[in-house]
């Protein structure tokens, strides 16, 4: 079971990217991030957080169907930190995504080694790494992992929105589910790979393996305590993002029952069913069938109810601790925390997709 992200000491304020990277270097740690992204929301917030609060020195990105990000990633702030490959994919496919992720990671590993980096973190564009006790405990354990433990693994918690109309979940969310049985999506965390390990490769989206640890299981893994580092997962964290994602998946996969049977998460299955109702209602509107407008309204209201049931925090929660203070762990399976260094990017809007 996932332990909530409690820490013995309060996390210090973000020190800035250069200082955080220098701190990592003092432990022999130089971090890179590898990610495959598509129409991300608030992406500059994501970049700035991992640069300033985690000390990431290089981002290796596969950017799909989002040419509008080229201006941001080629700007002076990011051009020296980001290596981006742009691809046009069109349809979203639930089952092919992991193959593309694996291929991207495989292509990045030798480049990251050649650049002198020591650890490769695989996360998505809707995830932040939160260190409740600050960076030294994380860097200390990363440095100690060694090639015999190439998979340095974190648990994940899942974001709950303060309101349905939240513009920037990274900056606004203060509530996170920490009981995996209540999650909408995956429960098996994310990992740093130790680049010095021979034969390092991804093992699905959540782990790394090496030539010496290819047998899987717990061999070759170092599990980080949640008080040291945890993944904050903001999956489908706005209604607009959820709607776009599941309409694309519903168009791609249709009504095939074998598709639903292969989807492991109840939230995903319910979201696909709701998206199909939206598609059917939109088709009736185009055909101007009787009561089409009413069916469209009912489908939209049903979709909003479904998303809100899973994604909006319950009322009556105690206030979150201020930034820099330890998380507040509640018995109903919710942790209240304020990740320091998460601020909106004024004057610049990332695609909401």
Which residue from 7, 49, 31 is spatially nearest to 324, judged by alpha carbons? 7
pLDDT in tens, 188-222: 999 999 999 999 999 999 999 998 877 555 569 99
Neighbours of 318 (CB within 10 A): 9
- What integer pLDDT is reported at residue 94 of this predicted model? 59
- What integer pLDDT is reported at residue 21 of this predicted model? 96
Does 352 have pLDDT greater than 90? no
- What integer pLDDT is reported at residue 218 of this predicted model? 58
CA-only gyration radius of the chain, Å = 20
Higher pLDDT residue, 242 or 95?
Answer: 242
pTM of the model: 0.88
- What integer pLDDT is reported at residue 265 of this predicted model? 85
Does 93 have pLDDT greater than 60? yes
pLDDT in tens, 3-30: 434 333 344 445 678 999 999 999 999 9
- What integer pLDDT is reported at residue 92 of this predicted model? 64
Q: Identify whether the C-beta of residue 177 lies closer than 8 Å to the C-beta of residue 313.
A: no
Of the spans 54-58, 89-93, 254-258, 339-343, which averages the highest pLDDT? Answer: 54-58
Neighbours of 37 (CB within 10 A): 20
Q: Which domains does the chain have, with CATH numbers?
A: 18-233 (3.90.550), 239-311 (no CATH)
Neighbours of 176 (CB within 10 A): 25
Neighbours of 195 (CB within 10 A): 23
* Alpha helices by DSSP H, the chain: 17-26, 43-54, 70-73, 97-114, 135-145, 169-172, 239-253, 257-262, 266-287, 292-311
User: DSSP assignment of 3-70, as one string?
Assistant: PP---SSPPPPP--HHHHHHHHHHTT--EEEEEEEES-SSHHHHHHHHHHHH---EEEEEEES-GGGH
Q: Identify whether the C-beta of residue 254 lies closer than 8 Å to the C-beta of residue 248.
A: no
- What integer pLDDT is reported at residue 12 of this predicted model? 44
Q: Is the dihedral of CA 262, 62, 209, 236 positive or negative?
A: negative
pLDDT in tens, 307-348: 999 999 999 999 999 888 899 999 999 999 998 767 655 433
pLDDT in tens, 233-267: 999 988 998 999 899 888 887 766 777 677 778 89
* Cα-based distances in Å from 153 to 49, 85, 189, 347: 20, 27, 7, 36
């Amino acid at each position: 079971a996932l332990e909530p992200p409690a820490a013995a000491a309060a996390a210090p304020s973000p020190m800035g990217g250069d200082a955080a990277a220098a701190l990592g270097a003092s432990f022999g740690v130089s971090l890179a991030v590898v990610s495959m992204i598509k129409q991300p929301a608030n992406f500059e917030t994501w970049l700035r957080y991992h640069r300033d609060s985690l000390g990431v020195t290089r981002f290796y990105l596969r950017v799909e169907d989002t040419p509008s990000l080229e201006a941001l990633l080629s700007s002076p702030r990011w051009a020296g930190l980001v290596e981006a490959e742009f691809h046009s994919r069109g349809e979203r496919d639930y089952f092919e995504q992991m193959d593309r992720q694996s291929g991207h990671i495989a292509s990045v590993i030798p480049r990251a080694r050649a650049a002198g980096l020591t650890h490769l973190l695989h996360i998505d564009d809707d995830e932040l790494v939160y260190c409740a006790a600050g960076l030294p405990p994380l860097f200390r354990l990363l440095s100690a992992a060694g090639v015999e433990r190439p998979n340095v693994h974190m648990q994940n918690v899942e974001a709950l929105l303060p309101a349905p109309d939240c513009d920037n979940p990274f900056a606004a969310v203060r509530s996170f589910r920490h009981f995996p049985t209540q999650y909408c999506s995956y429960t098996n965390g994310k990992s740093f790979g130790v680049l010095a390990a021979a034969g390092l490769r991804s093992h699905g989206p959540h782990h790394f393996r090496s030539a010496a640890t290819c047998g899987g299981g717990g061999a070759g893994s170092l599990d980080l305590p949640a008080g040291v580092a945890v993944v904050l997962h903001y999956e489908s964290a706005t209604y607009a993002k959820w709607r776009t994602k599941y309409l694309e998946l519903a168009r791609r996969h249709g009504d095939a029952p074998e598709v639903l049977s292969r989807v492991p998460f109840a939230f995903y299955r319910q979201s696909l069913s709701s998206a199909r109702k939206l598609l059917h209602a939109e088709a009736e509107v185009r055909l101007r069938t009787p009561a089409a407008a009413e069916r469209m309204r009912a489908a939209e209201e049903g979709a909003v109810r479904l998303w809100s049931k899973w994604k909006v925090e319950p009322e009556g929660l105690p206030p979150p601790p201020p930034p820099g203070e330890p998380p507040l762990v509640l018995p109903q399976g919710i942790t209240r925390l304020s990740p320091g260094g998460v601020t909106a990017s004024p004057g610049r809007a990332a695609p909401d997709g």
